[in-house]
Amino acid sequence: MQKRMSLLQVIKSLIKLTKAEEVLVSQLFKEKLYRKGEYFLEEGKICNLVGFVDKGIMRYYINDEGEEKNYDFAQEGQFVCDMESFAPQIPSRKTIQALEDATLFVISYDKLQEFYSKLRYGDRFGRLVIEQVFVRTLQDLNSFYTESPEERYRKFLDKHYDIDQRISQYHVASYLGVKPQSLSRIRKRILGRK
């Protein structure tokens, strides 16, 4: 279970920051508000921001012939970005949307290059975060193809500690790849509710 941390705490958990660098970080990231339902990224657009979720929940989904399939969530203390669009700066196949009114600290592609260059350990921070996101993405994918929805739901509860209570069960079911009725049965078994 991940602790809720501020942006500076997350950075400082991975690299050393001088006081001057802390100031620079707070200049490079800008606070941005997203209303519930608003898009951080729309399919077909180039992802030009990395966001850090200070408050709220974001969902990632892919439009599969008209059906929105959730494949990830980000909440307080986590980064949000579509690396597949952001790194090569090409149009995205994915959509990222706020599921609650949200407060993010965002950094543009250009400012992020400045972050990497000007901070003594900027590239190290980038390397470590991308490694973590990469490994998590691979684990999620494996899980989707090898584990039962019930196992996946247990992992979801571990990873996203309170999202389950904050978003519609419809969105959770979409993430698990099951119908809402199946999720309801899984929840009864796991949570012991009748």
Residue ranges that bind a copy of itself, judged by CB under 8 A: 83-84, 87-88, 93, 116, 121, 123-124, 126-127, 130-135, 137-139, 141-142
**Least Å distance between CB 10 and a copy of itself?**
17
**Least Å distance between CB 8 and a copy of itself?**
20
Output phi, psi for 182, to 5 deg: -65, -40
Shorter beta-carbon distance to a copy of itself: residue 130 or 157: 130
Residue 21 amino acid letter: E
- Which region holds residue 121: left if phi is over 0, alpha if psi is between -120 and 50, else beta? alpha
Shorter beta-carbon distance to a copy of itself: residue 111 or 124: 124
For the CA atoms of the chain, what is the radius of gyration?
17
Shorter beta-carbon distance to a copy of itself: residue 16 or 55: 16
Tokens of 64: 């599969």
Shorter beta-carbon distance to a copy of itself: residue 32 or 127: 127
- How far apart are alpha carbons 120 and 133 in whole angstroms? 22
